[in-house]
Amino acid sequence: MRTQTCTKQEFCGCGAVCMSDFSGGRMPEFVRFGALVALLALAACVHPADTANPQSRAELLSAVADYVISPGDQLNVFVWKNPELSGNVPVRPDGRISIPLVQDVQAAGKTSKQLATDIKAALLRYVKDPIVTVIVQTAGGGNDRIMVIGAVAQPHAIAYRAGLTVLDVMVEVGGLKEFAAGNRAKLIRRTDTGTNEMPLRLGDLLVDGDQSANVTLQPGDVIRIPERWF
């Protein structure tokens, strides 16, 4: 048997060995098995998520535990083992929601976790030890609001208006938290081909007053601010 080894041993992190010209015109059993393993490993190198769009707005909201619910938000209330009590509900203009057995619960101004706790307390009269989860599906009743999430004083959705800038939005949400990494913030913007992420220098803008770091926003923009790591 004569073997030929590839000069390039890596492809997407997976090793590959090429073999050819086997005596007898038939590939030995152990080599055929090895080839099958190599093909499966090569297939595992393909990562569909690498080409997928970044997180959706709903996923971004769900990832931020301290997002404050606002009127117009669309919520999913899930009560474990009680599908008749679960479902999607809008936050009314008065900031309240209603679900079966529980009417007029204040939702606006609370986080998902806080609202879930309130719903659980209200359901205790009817359900033994209810397990309640609240997920923000859509902010502001649509995709045109500006969402500010992460290390800010009051993460929430803001109604878009012409000429709205990053500075306007940051003032409205109360500024950055103490340990916010302002200069590592990202502006996430929808386009016709998907979603793009652009860097924001919020530290330079808010601390140093650098107006070149101010950006005019578009409907549906998302501003995400991480925390510093020590």
Q: Which domains does the chain have, with CATH numbers?
A: 10-49 (no CATH), 71-138 (3.30.1950.10), 146-225 (3.10.560.10)
Q: To the nearest whole number, what is the mean pLDDT of the chain?
A: 78
Residue for token digits 């479902």? 87
Q: Do 204 and 213 touch, CB atoms closer than 8 A?
A: yes
* 198 to 54, 190, 222: CA distances (angstroms): 12, 11, 10
Report the 10 Å Cβ neighbour count for 75. 21
State the Cα–Cα distance between residues 197 and 179, nearest whole angstrom.
22
Query: Which neighbouring-strand residues pair with 105?
Result: 97
* 114 to 28, 109, 121, 151, 152: CA distances (angstroms): 64, 10, 11, 18, 18
What pTM, to 2 d.p., does this model score? 0.50
Quick: pLDDT tens for 10-41: 434 444 444 444 444 454 554 454 544 444 34
Side-chain-side CA neighbours of residue 224 (13 Å): 21
State the Cα–Cα distance between residues 86 and 194, nearest whole angstrom.
32
Quick: pLDDT tens for 144-153: 788 898 899 8
Quick: pLDDT tens for 83-94: 999 999 989 878
Quick: pLDDT tens for 108-143: 889 999 999 999 999 999 999 999 999 988 776 556
